[in-house]
Structure 1
Amino acid sequence: MSKAVTPGSGRASGGGGAGERAAGALDRGLAILTHVARHRGISTADIAQALGLTRSTAYRLVDRLQEQGWLAQAPATARWQLGPAAVRLASAAVASTTLRDAAAPALRKLGEVTQETVSLGVPNGLTMVFVHRERGTRPATVTAELGAARPLHSTSLGRAYLAALPQQKLEDTLIELVRDPLSPVTAATVSDLHAEIERTRERGWSQDLRDFDESSCCCGAAVHDHTGMPVACISVAGVAERMGPLIPAYGPLVAQVCRELSYDLGYLPPAS
């Protein structure tokens, strides 16, 4: 039986069979591709150091990946980035995956664990629109039909989306909210929303404690696609008296579900 390979070890942990050596090379090659995806514009020497490979092994594998089109050198820096073969594979994966189909099992699982109403929303202008829902076994206050819109500023779906935006896009969106005549966010109150977004980023999940609806509380998190942008958010909502004390426990759960779904959609978080 083949022994496991640790990508950073630079070699297989078992003996020297041809199949085992091939598996070891494959694991190291995949580790290189994953590392380049996370650290765009990296040298072969940096790859070797980060993954614990010898320089000769790193150069050999990188050359092979370049030959097959999995890696390419950036024109300006001659450092490595993903090549056309990786791009084609990613495009095929994206084309074969629809957000709602990919999210449905995760939503069902989250609903089973919390027994509360779990919703999937997507951004539409300055609102989030419900596109899928799993109703829990407990009494719920969420009555809006699919297709209904909710504001960005006062809901867990909206706050999760805002918190996941790149900083410049967030600032532009906040300006739009202030300028929108239908939005209650004003120049005097936008700083409060900004502070709530920062708290959301620090927690890793958003919350709405009777802010949108006096009878309900909810928490949420964002789903990212392969480009790194938030494309949807998931929330767990329930009757305020019951749900309020559970928010600190359910927030991390919905955040974990969103991380797993983002990974399935091709998202790799930036290196810390």
Structure 2
Amino acid sequence: MTPISTLSEPLDERKFVVALARGLDLLRAFKPGETMLGNRDFVERTGLPKATVNRLAYTLTVLGYLRLDETLGKYALDAGVLSLGFALLSGTDTLELARPHMRTFAREVGAAVSLGCRDGLDMIYLETIRSETALTLGLASGSKLSMLTSSMGRAYLAVQPLDVRAALLAELKRSAGKEGAALLADAEKEIEAFAQERCCYSFRAWHDDVNAVAVPFREPREGRWLVLSCSGPASSMGEEVFRESVAPRLKALARRLGDTG
């Protein structure tokens, strides 16, 4: 279950519905590229008792958010989740405004440009636009990356209040296991540099041949933090290219879309 300390809003326990939160944790248990999960997977990933997982999975199946494959004894996400995703994307005015600018940016830079927001301890991609010549690993809408290793996640962390950031970093370190300390040190270095750079980088951190830079901005209507990122192949777009060419352009685009602080 998502740790209370890492929630984006202060918790009022009188209003917080634990059963609902647990049900959503089951849906969040699916990782990009996974199509089927069993009860054992849910138990391991959420830490919930097996009996609770059984009841929650049954309820989500009845409501159309999960689909049970009786032959395999495993669950897949169903149409209810897809409809929520489409509602999110269609209701994001900033995304509609950003798309044409992102297309131009991707074409001029020759890379992939993405817009994302926070989802638990990850950043979820709302949109990714690639240039026709981009050779980088592009992530589709709905894909997720850890805050700890992605430039997008580091940029989001950099603009959070100190107490929220500390709680998130502690949980990220714990979830990263043995590599947590090294990954945390790398992320904190980028976060610290944000004060001067006004962006965060990720050089070969989540993939050996991917470099990236990200810039956060607060969208005008809802006031939430979104993050723009640009990624390209490290073999042809080195650190110097990102620092001297890509980052300044991405900062300018972010300022057109919202308040960069």
Q: Map of 1:93-112 to 2, 5 A cutoff?
A: 98-112=93-107
CA distance in 1, matches of 2:98, 2:178: 30
- Whether the 8 Å contact between 1:116 and 1:237 is mirrored in structure 2 is yes
Larger radius of gyration: 1
Whichever residue aligns with residue 216 of structure 1, its letter is V
Partner of 1:114: 109
Q: 1:57-91: per-residue Cα shift (whole Å, max 9, x none)?
A: xxxxxxxxxxxxxxxxxxxxxxxxxxxxxxxxxxx
- Whether the 8 Å contact between 2:110 and 2:134 is mirrored in structure 1 is no
Paired-residue identity, %:
24
- What's the TM-score, normalizing by structure 1? 0.56
- Whether the 8 Å contact between 2:217 and 2:260 is mirrored in structure 1 is no
Whichever residue aligns with residue 125 of structure 1, its letter is G
2:193 to 199, 204, 208: 199
Partner of 2:257: 261
CA distance in 2, matches of 1:236, 1:114: 9
Partner-residue secondary structure (3-state), 2:208: coil
Partner of 1:235: 229
- What's the TM-score, normalizing by structure 2? 0.58
- For residues 227 and 137 of structure 1, do their structure 2 counterparts lie closer, same or farther at Cα, with a shift above 3 Å needed? closer
- Whether the 8 Å contact between 1:157 and 1:221 is mirrored in structure 2 is yes
The runs of at least 4 consecutive aligned structure 1 residues that moved more than 6 Å come to none
CA distance in 1, matches of 2:172, 2:144: 15
1:177 to 146, 158, 172: 172
CA distance in 2, matches of 1:268, 1:138: 29
Offset of 1:226 from its aligned partner? 4.0
Offset of 1:210 from its aligned partner? 0.8
CA distance in 1, matches of 2:93, 2:255: 17
Whichever residue aligns with residue 221 of structure 1, its letter is V
RMSD: 2.5
Q: 1:30-76: per-residue Cα shift (whole Å, max 9, x none)?
A: xxxxxxxxxxxxxxxxxxxxxxxxxxxxxxxxxxxxxxxxxxxxxxx
User: Structure 1: any 5+ residue segments left out of the alignment?
Assistant: 1-95
Partner of 2:204: 210
Is 1:252 matched with 2:248?
yes
Q: Map of 1:1-272 to 2, 5 A cutoff?
A: 98-180=93-175, 184-186=179-181, 190-226=184-220, 230-244=224-238, 245-248=240-243, 249-262=245-258, 267=259, 269=261
CA distance in 1, matches of 2:143, 2:172: 19
CA distance in 1, matches of 2:183, 2:231: 25
Offset of 1:193 from its aligned partner? 2.5
- Whether the 8 Å contact between 1:162 and 1:170 is mirrored in structure 2 is yes
Whichever residue aligns with residue 260 of structure 1, its letter is R
Whichever residue aligns with residue 101 of structure 1, its letter is E
- Whether the 8 Å contact between 1:228 and 1:268 is mirrored in structure 2 is no
CA distance in 2, matches of 1:198, 1:238: 23
Q: 1:194-227: per-residue Cα shift (whole Å, max 9, x none)?
A: 2221113321111111111101111111121348
- For residues 189 and 139 of structure 1, do their structure 2 counterparts lie closer, same or farther at Cα, with a shift above 3 Å needed? closer
Partner-residue secondary structure (3-state), 2:166: helix
CA distance in 2, matches of 1:131, 1:183: 30
Whichever residue aligns with residue 179 of structure 1, its letter is R
CA distance in 2, matches of 1:237, 1:140: 10
